[in-house]
């Protein structure tokens, strides 16, 4: 393999500098933008749903979640929001926390909070949707 | 902070927040970041709400009494604003991604529009919520 003349004489530091965000930055950026766009209709639906469910008791809410369209949209809203926020909050952490150990701990903690909230939320929605009786 | 005695390694720093004149694009950027942190709490509240529904009538009634308390309502009011502001901000950022809207006058205008939209949509939402028996 022959290297081009400019590659041959570059120092390791010079080469590392050219890599930028380890070539992962664009994936993060696109995930944030696409999930942000998905959240425009989903969160408007979420506000509409919240207004419909104001003051409703648990029975009415389970009946509402028992309708497949509501269970699916509610799960999508929660998952899209958590993916979006996990990425967004990671950037905030990386902007302000510079010590490697604290930064890593917070980035990992952020991921765990989001995955846990998603698992609890989606499991609860499914449990209600699949066990509710009398909803068609 | 700037210790010049350290020699040539010390690099010039970018201007700090407090020496900048406040302008609307900066306010929007900071507000957006604040809203992101708020919505993070909101997503956890939403997951908790689903868990409360699954846990049964008493758990749900307990969860609703927390959300319906004055502090709970204040938090939900903030979440409403954050949701609407982020919707407007996502649309604004999409135009930026297409390379449009960077002229200072346009950026100021869209920033003001995003805040105005969020304020109006929040008020409308809470008037409807009030009509539906939120108070």
Confidence of residue B107 (pLDDT cuts 50, 70, 90): very high
Q: Do B39 and A117 touch (CB under 8 A)?
A: no
Closest CA to B77 of B22, B40, B124: B124
Check residues A23 and B79 and name the one with the higher pLDDT.
B79
For B64, name the nearest residue in chain A, comparing CA atoms only.
A55
Any domain includes B85? yes
Check residues A115 and A136 and name the one with the higher pLDDT.
A115
CATH number for the domain spanning B40: value is 1.20.1300.10
Any domain includes B75? yes
Which residue range(s) make up the domain with B103?
23-131
Rounded mean pLDDT of B50-79? 97
> Would you say residue A7 has pLDDT above 90?
no
List pLDDT tens digits, range A81-97: 999 999 999 999 999 99
Any domain includes B107? yes
Any domain includes B10? no
How many independent structural domains does chain B possess?
Answer: 1
Any domain includes B18? no
For B94, name the nearest residue in chain A, comparing CA atoms only.
A33
**Which chain A residues touch B133 with a CB distance below 8 Å?**
54-55
Give the global pTM: 0.85
Task: Please report the domains of chain A, with CATH numbers, ordered by start residue.
Answer: 27-131 (1.20.1300.10)
Whole-number Å distance between alpha carbons of A97 and B33: 15
For B59, name the nearest residue in chain A, comparing CA atoms only.
A58
Q: Do B37 and A92 touch (CB under 8 A)?
A: yes
H or E segment at A95?
helix A68-96
Who among A47, A52, A120 is closest to B51 (CB)? A120
Any domain includes B76? yes
Q: Per the structure block, which two tokens stand in for A52?
A: 């419909």
Instruction: Name the one residue in this structure whose structure tokens are 């696409």.
Output: A34
- Look at residue A22 in the predicted model and tell me its pLDDT: 60
Check residues A50 and B13 and name the one with the higher pLDDT.
A50
Whole-number Å distance between alpha carbons of A31 and A20: 18
Residue from A117, A126, A129 whose CB has the most chain B CBs within 10 Å, to mutate:
A117
Any domain includes B87? yes
Residue A41: CB atoms within 10 A of its CB come to: 13
Percent of chain A residues past pLDDT 90, beyond the cut: 74
Lowest-pLDDT choice from A66-75, B12-21, B63-72, B108-117: B12-21
Q: Do A51 and B87 touch (CB under 8 A)?
A: no
Any domain includes B81? yes
Q: Are A45 and A90 in contact (CB under 8 A)?
A: no
Confidence of residue A24 (pLDDT cuts 50, 70, 90): low
User: Apex CA A119: angle with CA B57 and CA B82, to 5°?
Assistant: 80
């Amino acid at each position: 393999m022959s290297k081009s003349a400019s590659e041959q004489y570059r120092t390791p530091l010079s080469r590392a500098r050219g890599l930028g965000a380890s070539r992962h930055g664009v994936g993060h950026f696109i995930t944030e933008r696409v999930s942000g766009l998905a959240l425009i209709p989903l969160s408007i639906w979420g506000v509409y749903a919240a207004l419909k469910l104001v003051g409703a008791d648990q029975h009415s809410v389970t009946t509402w979640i028992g309708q497949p369209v509501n269970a699916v949209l509610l799960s999508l809203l929660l998952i899209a929001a958590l993916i979006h926020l996990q990425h967004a909050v990671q950037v905030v952490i990386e902007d302000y926390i510079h010590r490697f150990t604290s930064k890593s701990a917070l980035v990992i903690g952020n991921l765990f909070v989001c995955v846990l909230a998603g698992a609890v939320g989606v499991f609860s929605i499914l449990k209600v949707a699949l066990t509710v009786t009398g909803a068609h | 902070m700037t210790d010049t005695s350290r020699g040539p390694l010390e690099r010039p720093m970018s201007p700090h927040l407090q020496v900048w004149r406040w302008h609307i694009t900066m306010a929007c950027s900071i507000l957006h970041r604040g809203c992101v942190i708020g919505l993070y709490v909101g997503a956890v509240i939403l997951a908790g709400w689903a868990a409360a529904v699954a846990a049964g009538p008493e758990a749900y009634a307990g969860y609703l009494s927390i959300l319906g308390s004055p502090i709970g309502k204040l938090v939900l009011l903030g979440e409403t604003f954050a949701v609407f502001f982020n919707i407007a901000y996502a649309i604004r950022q999409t135009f930026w991604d297409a390379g449009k809207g960077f002229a200072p006058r346009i950026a100021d205008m869209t920033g003001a529009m995003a805040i105005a939209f969020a304020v109006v949509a929040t008020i409308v939402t809470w008037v409807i919520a009030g009509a539906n028996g939120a108070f």
